[in-house]
Structure 1
Amino acid sequence: MADELDLLRRANPVPADLPSLADGPLDLRGARHLDRLLHERTRPTPSRVPLPGRRSGRRGVRLAWGLATGAVVAVTALALLLGGPSAPPAVAAPRPLAVRADATPVSLDRLAERAEAAAADGGPALRKGTHVQSWSLGMSDDAPPITLPEERVVRWTADGRHTELVVATDPRHPGRPVIGEDADGNPRRVEDGHVISDTTYPPSWSDAPPHSRPPHDPDRLRAYLEEAQHTDAMNTSQLLDAADLLLDNWTLGARESAALVRLLADSGGLRPAGEVTDRLGRHGQAYVHEVTGVRRMLIMNPDTGAVLGLETTFTEAQPEYGVAPGDVMEYSAWTR
């Protein structure tokens, strides 16, 4: 066996010490391309890195359930890119949204009834495309975490083309510089409203979820989301991932929102937490799901059941990455 291995080593046409191919951490651009290849969504978000324990939808799951087992391999480049004398200062992770302790929570069953009533009265129609503002935490093992805020608008045309505009902006602090990306995908300080990319894509006629039209019946919507998730049965975490994937591709109408709320209610894995004001200043009802080390909070319109936002926070410290309990790992806010 030893002789065979030695022959194989000598047959290797690429020397191990070749600088361009030597083993080492991915740079940020490489990490983003890896994220896109692994997780099949329309585009990777700059600070969203493929982490253990995720699904294989737009990104398996964007968040880490097994963070300590290798969460920052693909983002160690952040420390190098932001560590020089002219680098932008690190931006601390935002604090989680506060739920009103004196508010009476609304059950998901009750919210589903409201959503179904609103859908029966008409309401907005389903539209392909999305408008989402997000805050994502980038981490490395030798620099403080940084938060990258951005706004993404995707619009489709009748001929199957779509445009995607991505802007670095933080609506909580209008006019202030934020951490964005340069043309090579590297993080740097930019002015509020800096255009990261403005792209027009050729026609696409995919008939597979999440690109095909989502149904507005709860049972059919479950099957649709399971196909998008490449699974036969979704637990609550996977259902939240699937909802995230759906909302990153479609702006739901009243009927689709009602079906999604009913599906979430039937899952039984979300706890009503009370009233909350989201990061865009909108009033909502919060529903919480917790797993080891991570809490996810879904924020929904109290009258129509439309999903307003999804927040994921650490509930356990990760001192090796400068993360404290309550730091926000990721937050998405969807608008029409």
Structure 2
Amino acid sequence: MSEELDLLRRADPVPAHGPHFGDGPLDHRAEQRLELLLHADDERGTRRGTPGTRPPIPGTRPRIPRARPRIPRARPRMLSARRRTPRARLLWGLAATAVVLATTLTALLAGPNSQPAVAAPRPLAVRAHSTAVPLHQMAELAAAAAADGSPGLRRGTHVQSWSLAMSDGKPPVTLPEERVVRWNADDSHTEVVVATDPSRPGRPVLTDGDEDGAPRLVEDGKVLSRTTYPPSWSDAPPEARPPHDPAALRAYLAETLHPRTGSLATPELLDTVKELLDHWTLGARESAALVRILTDAGGLRPVGQVTDRLGRPGQAYVNDGPGERRMLILEPRTGAVLGIETTFARDDPRYGVKAGDVMEYSAWMR
């Protein structure tokens, strides 16, 4: 028995001249840790003898028990190296995924002509050498077109909009969407909002994000929301039926914005027009009354003919206000409002916008 123990004591499990298995022989520290692992049961006192010591081997000097520092369980270096490899691969995988996503987003935004599919629309350009029809003359044309009272007033709206979303530290983005509001016989109504840009059919569309608010790309024509509202019998503007008399309609619009004072400057008047058209599709008589109100308000100068973002011809009238420029587009024969465009009048480095950038554009349809 003693001879066998001597042979075991002289045995070297990892000789220097043997195969290294990628790690080489154990050094002195590794042998100590391996010894701790092999005799962990001794430290818990599961063997005979004094807890924390090994029974003496016959023919050898007994060891003197001494305190050992608590060393965490070690792993062979080869396994440790293999354990680190997936983490490194994961980091590289995440980096590669980010590159792919960035490339994909660039491809979606760029398109075949390298023109961003979600770029802010350019401001409407007045047709060169076109005739600028004065607003009072447009009011006369609208009144003549409304003689037979058709088309009639309709509750609800159909509008295509482009709105600029801005935030600190991020470039502004334009969010195009189409909104349709239809009323039912029981005075309930349904609102459907669709992500679409008629100027770039079939291209991905940028829209509001979810909880984080970050813009996201969706396919053209994606329904963003479909909401049905219960019956409403409000008699306050803009829910109340608008009149077709100019004086009564002006009071109606004033109550929409300033129910107490009843005063309306031209920029505010255009704001209330937008509010009205987001609730009602005006008939010929209401459109004629509205053009008369705009004529009497002043502050709108004729600039000529334009083609709106839906491809419709129109007469443009501009109001220059502090910090922004508004353009009203009217149908040349009937005076119906086709659209309102608001652009920046000066640069604003805080949000990365420049003079002439489109802040908002709305195009109303029947």
Alignment TM-score, normalising by the size of structure 2? 0.67
What residue in structure 1 maps to residue 139 of structure 2?
112
- What's the offset of the Cα at 1:121? 2.9
Asked if 1:102 is matched to 2:132, the reply is: no
Letter in 2 for 1:110: Q
Q: Distance in 2 between matches of 1:185 and 1:311?
A: 29
Task: Judge conservation of contact 2:149–2:283 (CA < 8 Å) in 1.
Answer: no
Asked if 1:227 is matched to 2:227, the reply is: no
Provide the secondary structure at the position in 2 that maps to 1:320: coil
Structure whose CA Rg is larger: 2
- Which aligned pairs between 1:283-298 and structure 2 lie closer than 5 A? 283-298=313-328
What residue in structure 2 maps to residue 136 of structure 1?
163
Identity of aligned residues (%): 68
Provide the secondary structure at the position in 2 that maps to 1:120: coil
Q: Distance in 2 between matches of 1:127 and 1:148?
A: 27
* Structure 1, 186-195 or 144-153: larger mean CA deviation: 186-195
Provide the secondary structure at the position in 1 that maps to 2:137: helix
Letter in 1 for 2:290: L
Asked if 1:323 is matched to 2:350, the reply is: no
Q: Distance in 2 between matches of 1:251 and 1:182?
A: 30
In structure 1, stretches of 5+ residues that fail to align are: 1-83
What residue in structure 2 maps to residue 248 of structure 1?
278
Q: Distance in 2 between matches of 1:94 and 1:185?
A: 25
Q: Distance in 1 between matches of 2:300 and 2:139?
A: 13
Asked if 1:215 is matched to 2:256, the reply is: no
- What's the offset of the Cα at 1:320? 2.3
What residue in structure 2 maps to residue 155 of structure 1?
182
Q: Distance in 2 between matches of 1:115 and 1:232?
A: 25
Letter in 1 for 2:300: L
Provide the secondary structure at the position in 1 that maps to 2:225: strand
Q: Distance in 2 between matches of 1:204 and 1:115?
A: 32
What residue in structure 1 maps to residue 10 of structure 2?
none
- What's the offset of the Cα at 1:157? 1.1
Alignment TM-score, normalising by the size of structure 1? 0.73
- What's the offset of the Cα at 1:114? 0.5
Letter in 2 for 1:201: Y
Task: Judge conservation of contact 2:305–2:316 (CA < 8 Å) in 1.
Answer: yes
Q: How big is each residue's C-alpha offset from its partner over 1:282-325, in whole Å with a ceiling of 9 and x where there is no partner?
A: 00000000112210000000100000000000121112211111
Root-mean-square deviation (CA, aligned residues, Å) is 1.6
- What's the offset of the Cα at 1:185? 8.0
In structure 2, stretches of 5+ residues that fail to align are: 1-97, 110-117
Q: Distance in 1 between matches of 2:231 and 2:212?
A: 25
- Which aligned pairs between 1:1-336 and structure 2 lie closer than 5 A? 86=101, 91-181=118-208, 184=211, 186=213, 187-230=215-258, 231-336=261-366
- Figure out how many residues of one structure are paired with residues of the other and give that number: 253
- What's the offset of the Cα at 1:184? 4.5
Letter in 1 for 2:298: G
Provide the secondary structure at the position in 2 that maps to 1:321: coil
Q: Distance in 2 between matches of 1:184 and 1:300?
A: 38
Task: Judge conservation of contact 2:175–2:208 (CA < 8 Å) in 1.
Answer: no
